Amino acid sequence: MTATVAHCPALFLTAPASNQGKTTITAALARYFTHQGKVVRVFKTGPDYLDPQILAQASKQPVEQLDIWMAGDDYCQDKLYQAAQVADLILVEGAMGMFDGEPSSADLAARFGIPMAIVMDVKGMAQTAAALATGLANFRDDVKVAGLIANRCGSERHAELIRDALPANLPLLATLKRDEEICLPERHLGLVQAEEVKDELEVRFEAAVEWLKETRDDGLLTLPAPVAFYPAQQQEESNHDAASALKGKTIAVARDAAFSFIYDANLIALKNMGAKVVFFSPLTDQALPEADALWLPGGYPELHAKALSDNTAMRAAIHTFYETGKGILAECGGMLYSLDDLTDLDDACYPMVGILPGQGAMRGKRGCQGMQTAVLPQGDIRGHAHHRSRSANTPEPVGYGRRQRHPAPGEAIYQQKGLTASYLHLFFPSNLDATAKLFLASHKAH
């Protein structure tokens, strides 16, 4: 008989803004408690691919996204409930600032009763850090704040000034010194992919554990109080309804250094619908595996454009697959790979697969990002856009993304033969039925 409640210690890492050290501290905590023999399950809020890779390596456990808008309330509840049944600690890393976005990190924490710890870079301030933390902690009465983590704290005197200025009900959980050796490497779309710097990350994780141990406030190094998590009945029913939508189908997924923006939740969704998932590398493989559908996810094709172009055998194999009319989903970087050619960051132009007419080109630091719903003939699927490239001379789209909070049309969506291509990164669990139809190529007539 299924339990009706699962209790597990949990903490939500938030901040007043981005770039305060949330990912570094979340990873350090995950590794610290893993060293204590604890099973640590980490979740990341929002549509993020790179942070979860880092956090999965730190915790040695899978990391999935939690986002009420993108995934739904029941989905998030079910994921937390499942994790609480196997974990000794649940950590959730927020996105941006504590109250930024709709829904925000605070909305998620309040909905599931998870206490929040405020991570703040306190360099250049002392009592003001306490004032800011106090304001955040009291901004809403439905959010419980466990305390403040003072990151980049210069000295014990610096910590003392902050500690003494905090109210009694808002403790200083940790004072972490400035240490560039534990900072995580970055590139133009965010953090570097974990697989590229796996050994370096191990060194930084271990250094981060020692960094945590040096704090003069030990509130962060003890397990927080247990939180009650409940199952979501409607989520179980939804999973059951879609259980056989892709039964007997094999989906080949591009996965290598050029294509790695893959939600674990999406892979799980495909498998739960009955599909067999196999992987291939457009960079190094000469042929496609036997498959009924392809998924070309996002990633960094612009950093590997020459190698992708030089692999003419793979380009030809994908083109042949396209001509069969079988389902292909190409997202963002996968869409760029599907175009006729791609101009990289050095203005070098390389031929790509050519199953979608048009040209792709990188463009500096400015780009497009935001939550959008893909409005498709098969049904609406929620997701997001985040790119610093442009496409030109593409066909007439079958539709556009619907922005979360703006009336202007979002990203163009293309469909021809069995191909669906867009800059949008789709979150499959938001509409399993529509997702299955994309891979079954139910839009061949378009």
**β-sheet with 327-331: strand ranges across:** 276-280, 250-254, 293-296, 327-331, 419-422, 409-416, 399-403, 368-376, 379-387, 425-426
Task: Count CB atoms within 10 A of the CB of residue 320.
Answer: 11
The answer to whether 387 touches 362, Cβ cutoff 8 Å, is no
**Rounded CA separation 187/425 (Å):** 20
The answer to whether 98 touches 14, Cβ cutoff 8 Å, is yes
**Among this protein's residues, is 332 annotated catalytic?**
yes
Task: Count CB atoms within 10 A of the CB of residue 430.
Answer: 23
**Rounded CA separation 16/3 (Å):** 37
- Give the pair of three-digit tokens for residue 334: 């996968």
Task: Count CB atoms within 10 A of the CB of residue 119.
Answer: 26
Helix/strand number for the chain, H first, E second: 14, 26
Nearest alpha carbon to residue 129 among 107, 156, 149, 100: 149
**Rounded CA separation 75/242 (Å):** 14
What does DSSP assign to residue 200? H
Catalytic choice (8, 76, 153, 332): 332
Q: Which residue in the block uniquely carries the two structure tokens 């950093």?
A: 303
- Give the pair of three-digit tokens for residue 58: 């730190």
Q: What is the dihedral of CA 108, 265, 20, 156, to 10 degrees?
A: 90
Specify the pairing of strand 40-45 against strand 64-66.
Answer: parallel
Nearest alpha carbon to residue 422 among 326, 359, 335: 335
Nearest alpha carbon to residue 192 among 297, 385, 49: 49
Q: Which residue in the block uniquely carries the two structure tokens 């098969």?
A: 378
The answer to whether 86 touches 59, Cβ cutoff 8 Å, is no
Catalytic residues: 332
